[in-house]
A and B are shown apart, each in its own frame.
Chain A
Amino acid sequence: MQARAPEMELIREAQAGSRAAFDTLVRQYEHQVLRLALHLTGSEHDAEDIYQEAFLKAFRYIGNFRFECSFYTWIYRIVTNLCLDQLRRRKTRREDHAVIMDHSGDEIDLLASVSDDRAYANPARELDRKVLAGKIQAALEKLTPRERMVFELKHYQGLRLRTIGEMLSTTEETAKNTLFRATKKLRAQLAELR
């Protein structure tokens, strides 16, 4: 019974200034927040920054939360906005982020950290996978930040278009059109791989 009803209680307590209640809320959502930020930005350092900024904002403005949507949607809205800002900044700088960066700024191998216990795993295959992942990452970087976000939330995070619309303060129909454009662009970018 410690699930959602207490969540409302927790939000009310956090609104009244309880730090312990806010910490409990953070524990409930931090994993999803980090996973989204990490996959979108490809950088542990950026993901950490987004995590920090998102929950600080949530703490500062939780008094404005009026239960009109779920807390999950509200916190995701904050996170997606921060990620969008990050993607826009990166678009302007035109950085190449085909590799992932750890917190100290060193490059780490995205795919090497995925365990592969298959008997047929071998260096050549590993290399192929890295090249492939790099090309997909590059194709994703070419989408507009909004297209990237909708594709991320739909394809990788598995959210419904209606929820995505709510998070991005737009309609389900617009989210659907954005997803369509994103898949079209990605297909064009990745045509050589098929």
Chain B
Amino acid sequence: MNCELAHESIVAAAYGELPDEQVHELERHIAGCAGCAEERQQLEALKVLANALPVLEPGANLLARSRMRLDEALDALPPLGWYERLSQRMLNNIASLQAAPLAACLLLVAGAGAGGLGGYEIAQGRAAHVVTTQAIAAPQTAAAAPAAAQAGITQAGMSNVASVSSIVRKPNSEIVDVSYNQIVPQHVEGSLDDPAIRQLLMMASEKSSSVGLRDDSVGLLADECKAGHSCRPEGIRDALMTALRSDRNAGVRKKALDGLQPYVAEDVRVRDAILQALLNDDDPHVRTEAINILMPVEGDTSVRQVLHSVANTDQNPYIRTVSTQILSKEPEIQ
């Protein structure tokens, strides 16, 4: 790392925006560079100085006056005419049409897939007919066929997987049985530590339309992280963060949150995802869980800022109370 890059990183680090792996690199550089150490001190001094200009909370009078003016202005607005409503609706429709090329491509791929599947099944049917007629003459050949069907999926073959249709975990074991669809439905059985199995679970967690399937896959991935098995940032952790941010089901999001818990202190991206959930998640249970998970890192500036915001604005009284309690532990940091 050169000094120019270090100076930029110092600013990012001072505001908690530098990825963990780069923080170590920066620390190593600063340890051997007096100029950059001085730079960091100056930036810290600037932050202290800037805090001398307080952020004032708007007074009750200002708030009341603003509300009153807005109410008057809104009352004075004429109701939307039919042409305005129509044009707004048309604009929205035009915006949704932007996704049309993608939808067309998907339809094309789905059509090609369905056509291929149909052709393959017809061919299979014919082949089976031929095998049946030949089986009397050569029974050993037919017995060898199921063994070939049991062949496991390779990482390279993952690109052909269209979707996952079911996941069953063997009781008290690391073995899962995953059924998936390529051109024809397949299934594979293997350990949760197997990269191909993990890949299928991640695919199910992200793409499956079935809530049960997403719940199972995210639950299994979260268990892996909690158990301390290989849960690398660019793999399972990413999948859990994606589920936390975008899954429509609160139960799935909560499981993803549990899986991310061990990494809240070390991975700033995980912390961001959890802060985002605390601010934006629809479900109060998820937000409550997010607060509990963030407790060990409550001293972090970003965490405190979000807690402040939640303590003031969350509509759930319990969440407001818990946030306030956590903040009141170390008032001097505020």
- Interface, chain A (partner B; CB < 8 A): 1-8, 17, 19, 22, 26, 28, 30-32, 34-35, 38-39, 44, 47-48, 51-52, 55-56, 59-60, 63-64, 66, 70, 72, 103, 110-111, 113-114, 129, 132-133, 136-137, 140, 154-158, 160-162, 176-177, 179-180, 183, 186-187, 190, 193-194
List the interface of chain B (C-beta within 8 A of A): 7-8, 11-12, 15, 17, 42-43, 45-47, 49-50, 52-58, 62-63, 65-67, 69-70, 73-74, 77, 79-80, 85, 88-89, 91-92, 95-96, 272, 275, 279-284, 287, 301-302, 305, 309, 312-316, 319
Give chain B nearest CB distance to A134 CB in angstroms: 9
A126 to chain B: closest CB distance in Å? 12
B312 neighbours in A (Cβ, 8 Å)? 31
- Complex interface: chain B residues within 8 A of A51 (CB): 66, 70
A187–B62 contact, CB under 8 A?
no
How would you classify the secondary structure of chain B's contact residues: helix, strand, loop or mixed? Answer: helix
Most buried by A among B56, B95, B316: B56
For A137, list chain B residues within 8 Å (CB).
53
In the assembly, what is the distance between CA of A32 and CA of B142, in Å? Answer: 73
With A4-B282, A70-B280, A137-B53 as given contacts, are A161 and B17 in contact (CB-CB < 8 Å)? yes
How far is it, in angstroms, between the C-alpha of A158 and the C-alpha of B310 when the chains are bound? Answer: 13
Q: What are the residues of chain A within 8 A of B85 when measuring CB–CB? A: 63
Q: How far is the CB of B18 from chain A (nearest CB, A)?
A: 10
Asked if A156 and B55 sit within 8 Å, CB to CB, the answer is yes
Interface centre among B50, B58, B79, B275 (most CB of A within 10 A): B58
**Min CB gap A136→B, angstroms:** 4
**B58 touching A31, Cβ below 8 Å:** yes
Q: How far is the CA of A2 from the CA of B47 in the complex (A)?
A: 37
Q: CB distance B49 to A114 under 8 Å?
A: no
> Is the pair B15, A179 in contact by a Cβ cutoff of 8 Å?
yes
Q: Which among A17, A52, A158 is the interface contact of B305 at CB below 8 angstroms?
A: A158
Q: Which residue of B lies closest to A29 (CB)?
A: B313
Q: B281–A56 contact, CB under 8 A? A: no
Whether A48 lies near B66 (C-beta < 8 A) is yes
Partner of A59, one of B77, B272, B283: B77
Residues from chain B with Cβ under 8 Å of A2 in the complex:
315-316
Contact of A28 with B313 at beta-carbon distance under 8 Å, contacts A3-B287, A190-B49 already known:
yes
Q: Which residues on the B side are within 8 Å of A30 (C-beta)?
A: 63, 66-67
